[in-house]
């Protein structure tokens, strides 16, 4: 049972435009969500997070939106840059427990120059 | 500052051979530690986590085991590797604000 889903395996965007990456979850106990960026042959690096008490969190070019009723979150990158090309993973956690993450399968973003 | 080290970076092993991957964390004490695997074309799957020395929780029944002999050391092992054990193995520790920080990973190829 895939509790965290990223239904788009890949996405291509022109440089300077907005990239929108989506993530859906099924477990209503999840209360903390994160986005990670991963380059090939490297470990994921933390990008941005959001608690379930918020519906938006912004950090520079990156904004995460959370829609709890729809169990959906999205990552917006504006403007997109070629260096943003990577695989993006969303992760969800139930912070009342052992802080285990459940990861989605990732979306490969390609920003075209 | 905290750092996490994983080694080796790449490993090629024959089927049936043993495995030992090591992860160490510096700059923090008693961290929660995690082992993940990313199989080809798939997401990150949590294999084991540990909240303290000698405390290991297994998430997925498999051919692997984990140990935590010291506070900041986490080891992933196997007695006999299978072809299906191939993948990219990642160690992580939990820092402030419930954020996990990952090592550089080990690419394991079982042939």
In A, what residues contact B, Cβ < 8 A?
Answer: 6, 32, 34, 36, 41-46, 49, 89, 91, 93, 95, 98-106
Encode chain B (111 residues) as per-residue pLDDT tens digits: 778 999 999 999 999 999 999 999 999 888 999 999 988 777 889 999 999 999 999 888 678 999 999 999 999 999 999 999 999 999 999 988 889 999 999 999 999
Q: Is the pLDDT of residue A96 over 80?
A: no
Three-state DSSP at A84 gives helix
**From A42, A49, A89, residue closest to B99, measured CB to CB:** A49
Among B10, B25, B99, B106, pick the best mutation site for testing chain A contact (most A Cβ within 10 A): B99
The residue that leads in pLDDT, A97 or B68, is: B68
The reply to whether residue B49 touches residue A98, judged by beta carbons under 8 angstroms, is: yes
Q: Name chain B contacts of A100, Cβ cutoff 8 Å.
A: 34, 46, 49, 59
Asked if A93 and A32 count as a contact pair (C-beta separation under 8 A), the reply is yes
Among B3, B31, B35, B38, pick the best mutation site for testing chain A contact (most A Cβ within 10 A): B38
Give the DSSP letter string of B60-102. S-SS-EEEEEETTEEEEEESS--GGG-EEEEEEEE-GGG-EEE
Three-state DSSP at A83 gives helix
pLDDT computed for residue A1 by the predictor: 66
Per-residue CA distances from B51 to A66, A96, B54, B57, B73 (Å): 29, 14, 9, 9, 12
Region A77-99: mean pLDDT is 90
The reply to whether residue B42 touches residue A105, judged by beta carbons under 8 angstroms, is: yes
Tens digits of residue pLDDT in A44-54: 999 999 999 99
The reply to whether residue A95 touches residue B32, judged by beta carbons under 8 angstroms, is: no
CA B18/CA A7 separation, integer angstroms: 36
């Amino acid at each position: 049972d895939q509790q965290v889903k990223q239904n788009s395996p890949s996405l291509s965007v022109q440089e300077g435009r907005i990239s929108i990456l989506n993530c859906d979850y099924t477990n209503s106990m999840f209360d903390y969500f994160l986005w990670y960026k991963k380059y090939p042959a490297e470990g994921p690096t933390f990008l941005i997070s959001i608690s379930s008490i918020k519906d938006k969190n912004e950090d520079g070019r990156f904004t995460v939106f959370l829609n709890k009723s729809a169990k959906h979150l999205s990552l917006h990158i504006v403007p997109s840059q070629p260096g943003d090309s990577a695989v993006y993973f969303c992760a969800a956690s139930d912070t009342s427990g052992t802080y285990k993450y459940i990861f989605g399968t990732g979306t490969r973003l390609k920003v075209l120059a | 500052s905290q750092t996490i080290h994983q080694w080796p970076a790449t490993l090629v092993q024959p089927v049936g051979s043993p495995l030992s991957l090591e992860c160490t964390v510096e700059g923090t004490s008693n961290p929660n530690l995690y082992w993940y695997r990313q199989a080809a074309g798939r997401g990150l799957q949590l294999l084991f986590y540990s909240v303290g020395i000698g405390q290991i929780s297994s998430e997925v029944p498999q051919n692997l085991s984990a140990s935590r002999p010291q506070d900041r050391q986490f080891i992933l092992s196997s007695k006999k590797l299978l072809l299906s054990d191939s993948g990219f193995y990642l160690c992580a520790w939990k820092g402030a604000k419930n954020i996990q920080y990952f090592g550089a990973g080990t690419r394991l190829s079982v042939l």
